[in-house]
Structure 1
């Protein structure tokens, strides 16, 4: 097992451990995030009628449920954590959920008209980010767009205690340009670049958003 594989296994274990508490604390977060809601609505509208939409790193499924509520014809959530996927299936039967890795997505080529990755690429090393961007390109149909959100910076923070549980989860902070370059290197065209300050109740980190299209 490589170092990256061991880290992903530690991440899976960490998210399995905190899944219930994560759902309780984070599951309603979109109610206080009007910018995120607007970007998700624009993505679904641009995908067009009948398009399937992916929520990559879906956690307990709250974003997938919101996407389904916007009228997306089919929503598929993917998460590395089986415990998260189980919670998502229970809470949001209007969407489909799959256990899977961002670097090896359980999806067909061109399956999705749009994809969302909100704060899921933050757990990926540089090589893993490149692989995940290549997978994003693969699963999007031509003309399909992806919305990617992440923490801005240039450091790696390791979380060893999370809501009273011992974990070992790495968070990669990156400049907006670095993630844009990774998407473009995978063949995606970046159309939108946004940065914002943290909102009320959020962790004190600046946030970056990118919208990229498969030509």
Structure 2
């Protein structure tokens, strides 16, 4: 999917997506523990961006734990939903491959299930963009579906809109992150929770050295 197609799909499902996923962390102990630890390491260190923020639930979770955080999403409709559901937090329309952020301006980035929407050949450029905007010592966390290949459907959340996701093997994602200049600290794969789509989940945590 190109960015225009992706934007159009999420614009059409923004409300349904929020209804489905806004409280998903309540059912994901591992993700909460990972974000709790991330918050402890990044609070009082400056701004963290939630990339592909959707309805803003990840940003909100970090904000509630003392992190200065803002969200960015390609979909204007999703950004409007995030602003409505999280008053007082900042959400902007933006492209993860060309962030409107100065070099080394951020304490970190979290990107939960947003990189999956980038064609495989475009991921190295996205990782380099993440590296550009995070300062030395800052921390990146990327979450994706683990596996090989990709999946494309012509419906998403009950609506006739296209959906495509790229899967990544552990060594592949680690290599992509390291290739951009990060130092990978951790790469963890877990089984899906009963309430999730039946795919393995992969999390990579890395620092700008």
CA contact (8 A) 1:53 1:75 kept: yes
- Structure 1 runs of 4+ aligned residues shifted over 4 Å read none
1:99 alignment partner in structure 2: 93
CA contact (8 A) 1:159 1:170 kept: yes
Structure 2: distance between partners of 1:207 and 1:159: 20
Alignment of 1:1-215 (within 5 A): 7-72=2-67, 74-215=68-209
Deviation at 1:106, TM superposition (A): 2.0
Deviation at 1:116, TM superposition (A): 0.4
TM-score (ref. length: structure 2):
0.96
CA contact (8 A) 1:7 1:169 kept: no
CA contact (8 A) 1:44 1:53 kept: no
Deviation at 1:163, TM superposition (A): 2.6
Across the aligned residues of Structure 1 and Structure 2, the Cα RMSD in angstroms comes to 1.1
Deviation at 1:198, TM superposition (A): 0.4
Structure 1: distance between partners of 2:159 and 2:43: 42
Range with bigger deviation, 121-130 or 59-68: 121-130
* Structure 1: segments with no counterpart, 5+ residues: 1-5
TM-score (ref. length: structure 1):
0.94
CA contact (8 A) 1:68 1:94 kept: no
Structure 1: distance between partners of 2:72 and 2:141: 15
**SS of the counterpart of 1:201?**
coil
* Structure 2: segments with no counterpart, 5+ residues: none
Deviation at 1:24, TM superposition (A): 0.3
Structure 1: distance between partners of 2:147 and 2:83: 34
